């Protein structure tokens, strides 16, 4: 914002020019924010303001307009006429001074009001700033004569500062400045991909953020620096402590940011002559005006020595900056190599994990196949056993064909019955000489065929064992040796 003009001009023409310049500035702001939709809205507003100022000047030259007589009311008193207010101005829609998405009543719209008269109250300050919108957070220190007031937007605060600074108020010249922000932080080492929105989202972890800005150069390229403004001091202190103790990363690149308290400087008003403390040192330094030192003089010699020292300081700063940049490049190269190795290690670990999982799955599959084979073998063995048992059962129910084991048992029983207790042959008529018909347990053979001699039983029976050694006919293929 530019300084408009000196308000303490006594010439009416200069005062009028100052007011026109100020109103032109307000009209330009109104045009920027789109107060009216007309093509030449700023020009029309300026013409209207000039007409109002001209009417005020005419009223001053020609005197006040004649007062109209008013009829007395019921109490016999005359009603007061509506007198124009000396501080009245054209009413402008203050909502038009708000940018789209702009937050209201922030720290940036907070003003410092100094050199207040003794006895100034909050109502007085509220009335003083009422034409710039509804003030908020009015604080007055009556003992020290200063206060703070917060307006709705930054634009309204700038207009109020431009109009009220160095104006008389109850016999004193007011000092209006933007208040320092104790809740603002300076952020450095920002990556190139950080935007205002991402910066605000990152620092919202510590508290409510009013404003987050990534500083760019004249070409719009990020400088790696930013500003974060909180609504209060505790979140700012928390963010400062946490970032100092740990490493706060904003992107995938593992380079932490640096957070420091914001060093606030006044680059608009500066230091006017009237605010300088005119002490003894001031008068000593102001003995001579600005000039160039003449060669060969005393001041020229020491001025050149000062220049040499400043050049050496600049060279040292440049050398330190070069060393830091080289160290940064080296660290970035090491970081890139380490990231590559880390990725390779992660891939190798993932490959080993997959191989181990595949081996485990193969083992489980082989175990399942083996279990399935064992189950199939058991089922096949059980099926074969059931088939054999079923076959044996079917063979056991056939007539005239006893089981081989039962037949052997019967033959042994018959052999034992053909011998007497002394080991000799059995007597005639014993069980050994009984024909098969008489002994149904004994199967038929050559000695007792089914069609024996007359099938007469004991009458035509022969002795059990013939005398003499057994001949070849006694041991046929179906005969068993008897002992």
Eight-class DSSP state of 58: H
Q: What is the pLDDT of residue 399?
A: 54
Whether 364 contacts 356, CB under 8 Å:
no
Q: What is the pLDDT of residue 396?
A: 74
Q: What is the pLDDT of residue 64?
A: 44
Q: What is the pLDDT of residue 443?
A: 53
Query: Do 98-180 and 184-261 have matching folds?
Result: yes
Distances (CA, A) of 211 to 96, 179, 231: 20, 16, 9
| Domain spans of the chain, in order of start | 1-60, 98-180, 184-261
Read out DSSP for 424-473?
SBPPTTSGGG--TTT-TTSPP-SSS-TT-STT-TTTTPPPSS-SSS--GG
Write out the E strands in 151-243.
168-169, 172-173, 175-178, 184-188, 209-216, 222-230
Tokens linked to 215:
């500083």
Whether 228 contacts 242, CB under 8 Å:
no
Which residues of the chain fall below pLDDT 70? 1-97, 397-410, 412-483
* Sequence-distant (≥ 6) Cβ neighbours of residue 406 within 8 angstroms: none
Q: What is the pLDDT of residue 407?
A: 64
Q: What is the pLDDT of residue 241?
A: 94
Please tell me the distance from the alpha carbon of residue 473 to that of residue 471, in angstroms, as a whole number: 5
User: Which CATH superfamily, name and number, covers 184-261?
Assistant: RRM (RNA recognition motif) domain (3.30.70.330)
In DSSP terms, 183 is beta-bridged to none
Per CATH, the number for 98-180 is 3.30.70.330
């Amino acid at each position: 914002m530019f300084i408009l003009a000196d308000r303490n001009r006594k010439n009416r023409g200069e005062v009028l020019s100052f007011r026109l310049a100020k109103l032109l500035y307000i009209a330009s702001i109104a045009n920027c924010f789109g107060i009216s939709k007309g093509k030449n809205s700023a020009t029309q507003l300026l013409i209207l303001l000039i007409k109002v100022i001209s009417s005020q000047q005419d009223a001053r030259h020609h005197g006040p307009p004649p007062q109209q007589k008013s009829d007395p009311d019921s109490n016999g008193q005359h009603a007061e006429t509506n007198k124009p207010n000396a501080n009245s101005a054209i009413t402008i829609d203050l909502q038009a001074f708000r940018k789209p998405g702009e937050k209201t009543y922030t720290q940036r719209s907070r003003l410092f009001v100094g050199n207040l008269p003794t006895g100034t109250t909050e109502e007085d300050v509220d009335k003083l700033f009422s034409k710039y919108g509804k003030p908020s957070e009015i604080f007055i220190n009556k003992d020290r004569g200063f206060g703070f007031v917060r307006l709705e937007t930054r634009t309204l605060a700038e207009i109020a500062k431009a109009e009220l600074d160095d104006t008389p108020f109850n016999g004193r010249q007011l000092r209006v400045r933007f208040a320092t922000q104790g809740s603002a932080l300076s952020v450095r080492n920002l990556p190139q991909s950080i935007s205002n929105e991402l910066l605000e989202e990152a620092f919202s972890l510590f508290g409510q953020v009013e404003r987050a800005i990534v500083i760019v150069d004249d070409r719009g390229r990020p400088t790696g620096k930013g500003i974060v403004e909180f609504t209060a001091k505790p979140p700012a202190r928390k963010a400062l402590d946490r970032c100092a103790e740990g490493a706060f990363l904003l992107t995938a690149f593992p380079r932490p940011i640096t957070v420091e308290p914001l060093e606030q400087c006044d680059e608009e008003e500066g230091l006017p002559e009237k605010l300088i403390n005119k002490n003894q040192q001031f008068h000593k330094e102001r003995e001579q005006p600005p000039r160039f030192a003449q060669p060969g003089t005393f001041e020229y010699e020491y001025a050149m020595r000062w220049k040499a020292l400043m050049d050496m300081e600049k060279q040292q700063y440049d050398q330190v900056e070069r060393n830091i940049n080289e160290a940064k490049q080296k660290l970035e190269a090491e970081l890139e190599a380490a990231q590559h190795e880390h990725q390779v290690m992660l891939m190798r670990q993932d490959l080993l994990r997959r191989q181990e999982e595949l081996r485990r799955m193969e083992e489980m599959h082989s175990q399942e196949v083996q279990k399935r084979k064992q189950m199939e073998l058991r089922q096949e063995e059980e099926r074969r056993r059931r088939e054999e048992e079923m076959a044996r059962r079917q063979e056991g129910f056939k007539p005239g064909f006893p089981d081989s084991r039962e037949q052997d048992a019967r033959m042994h029983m018959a052999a034992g019955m053909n011998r007497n207790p002394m080991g000799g042959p059995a007597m005639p008529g014993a069980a050994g000489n009984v024909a098969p018909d008489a002994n149904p347990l004994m199967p038929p053979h050559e000695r007792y065929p089914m069609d024996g001699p007359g099938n007469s039983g004991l009458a035509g029976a022969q002795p059990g064992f013939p005398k003499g050694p057994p001949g070849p006919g006694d041991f046929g293929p179906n005969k068993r040796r008897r002992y």
